[in-house]
Amino acid sequence: MSDVTRAKHGRPVHHWRRDVIELAALFTAVAVADAVANMIGHGPDGPALLLVSAALLVATVGFHTWWARRHGHAPPTGDTGARPRSEEQAGPSDQSGESAATVSEDGVLWRMRTTVKDEPGSLAALCTALADLRVDILSLQTHPLADGTVDEFLLRAPGRLAAAEITRAVSVADGAGTWIERADAHDLVDAPTRVLGLATRTALDAAELPLALRQLLGRCTIRSLPAVPAGGGRGPEPVPTEGVLEDTVMRLRAPEGGVITVERPYLPFTPTEFARARALVELDARLGPRVPRSQDVLTLPEGNDITVRRADTGDHAAAKEMHERCSARTLGMRYHGPVGDADRYLNHLLSPRFGRTLAVQTASGRIVGLGHLLWDGDETEVALLIEDAWQRRGIGTELLRRLVGMAVQARCESVYAVTQSSNTGMVAAMRGLGLPLDYQIEEGTLVITARLDASLVAPEDGVRVRTEAP
């Protein structure tokens, strides 16, 4: 078995017998050296022989050093070992821990942004530096600024090339403020096509705006602040119609009032990015409130039919009536305490600006369950409320599966639920997802986080689904 196969944490694993043999060889060498020294030292020509031996040893060492340097500059062979991962320095997303052996032979995709001087030859020098590393430039966008030009690259680099080597070469070519992170296949789409796709998604569903902004601008935190907070009080400071750009923060006027704040602390926004984000928000405002109206009819195990559909603020009255039919215990489990007025929560929860809501209604049109997928900055929360008479029938589990399926489609990495440790129904529904779960308990409040897997979304066993037009 080779050392590469037996490697642990990047270091070869040595067998104990090898250490014993090396120790025995050391003792043998010491004994032989002592015997030779005694024999030569007591002879008539002992000192002369010792000097000749020392000269031979020095000559041997010099020849070995020359030979090693000469062959060290020879072209590498195809089986040259990969550079250890511990020597790499990469961008924020280079934390997968994969070894060089798992890197595709086609290379690794990187997104890189750097600032160069706005003068002839600057971009050419940068491209030459990348070419010397055998880095292929797949796409390039330029963002002109007052004191230079921000160039954004999509690169394909050799798998053994560390991010630190790329940024070092860019720095030598006078690139400043360089930022780099791993890319994926989604980044291979050119910018105009990607922007058109995001605009289409936003046009079809108002809840897509925060997700579209996040995919447009990369890793960032997006918060929608209503003009009047759900709990009352003073809202955020208003922003002008054209919005405000402040280095790593942009603030845009929300279509329904309030403010949309986008923050990316590790990388300043460019005027081009600000203009694109503002155009998406303006498109959303012109189209007005809209929610897809497709619906699914589910047959419960006992034979009753219920309908699951998207909900919005138009369902406010029916949702409030459902709250009034729920027991104090059920509402306390959902809102983690007594609920004085459901109006304080429903306008926020049903607004597509803050997430997506699924409603469960009976054949008579009465809402008996609500499921919420809420955008919480750069995280995603799921929450359920099922009317008492309809609990323990699999409705909550089905709602949760659909909400998590939406989160997977939105490319969310995880979802979390905040509940009470005594809420066995919610705990069981989260466990029923079959996903890795993390639990945190603080003063009776339980936070369950599920790491998402795109393979899930199968309906609950025993629940038949058929899709109908609205």
Both 176 and 200 in a single domain? no
Domain membership flag for residue 451: yes
Residue ending a domain, among 271, 287, 303, is 287
Alpha helices, H only, 42-113:
46-72
Per-residue tens of pLDDT for the chain, all 470 residues: 333 333 333 333 344 455 556 666 666 765 666 666 666 656 666 666 666 666 666 666 565 555 444 433 333 333 333 333 333 333 333 333 333 333 444 688 998 989 888 888 888 999 999 999 999 998 888 888 877 888 888 899 998 889 899 999 999 998 888 888 888 777 777 778 888 888 888 888 888 888 888 888 887 888 888 777 666 667 788 888 889 999 889 999 888 778 899 998 778 888 888 999 999 999 988 888 787 777 788 888 777 888 999 998 889 999 999 998 998 888 888 887 666 666 667 888 888 878 899 999 998 889 999 999 998 777 889 999 999 999 988 899 999 999 999 888 887 888 999 988 888 888 888 988 888 999 998 777 889 999 986 544 444 444 443 434 34
Domain of residue 3 covers 1-36
Dihedral sign for Cα 79, 84, 89, 94, please.
Answer: positive
Both 427 and 338 in a single domain? yes
Q: Which of these, 195, 152, 182, lies nearest to 170 by C-alpha position?
A: 152
Domain with 446 in it: what CATH number? 3.40.630.30
Both 303 and 222 in a single domain? no
pTM (whole model) above 0.85: no
Beta bridge partners of 244: 251
Contact present, 163 and 135 (Cβ < 8 Å):
no
pLDDT of residue 251: 92
Question: CA angle 224-288-186, nearest 5°?
Answer: 65
Residue 141's alpha-carbon distances to 144, 146, 161, 303, in angstroms, are 10, 17, 23, 57
Residue-level length of the chain: 470
Number of domains in the chain: 4
Both 350 and 267 in a single domain? no
Q: DSSP letter string over 211-224?
A: HHHHHHH-S-EEEE
Both 300 and 422 in a single domain? yes
d(CA 253, CA 278): 9
Structure tokens at 311: 């909900």
Both 300 and 449 in a single domain? yes
Q: How would you list the strands of the sheet with 136-145, edge to edge? A: 136-145, 148-157, 108-116, 176-182
